Amino acid sequence: MNPMFSLYKNEIMKTLELTHIGRDSWDRPVYECDGKLYCDVDPRKHLPANICTKVNNEFDGEPDCPIDPGVEVAFIPSRDTW
């Protein structure tokens, strides 16, 4: 992992490694990192990823907070798109 400087928190951050674990009931790709669930709220291939946490960390939970735009994301094995 490469360290990354967060524009908002003025601290060194690591790459967020998101492992694909499936699709939720709205067909959004769901990813996991260190026990926390994330989803791509607009996974169209021609758009950049729009990653948010999941409410209550539930697989079918609604998207919650977007990640810091300064965070680098790595998709494992790759980004799931429509």
Please compute, for residue 33, the number of CA atoms within 13 A of its CA located in the half-sphere on the CB side. 17
In degrees, to the nearest 5, what angle opens at C-alpha 76 toward C-alphas 17 and 21?
95
Percent of the chain topping pLDDT 70: 84
pLDDT tens per residue, range 1-26: 334 444 455 556 679 999 999 999 99
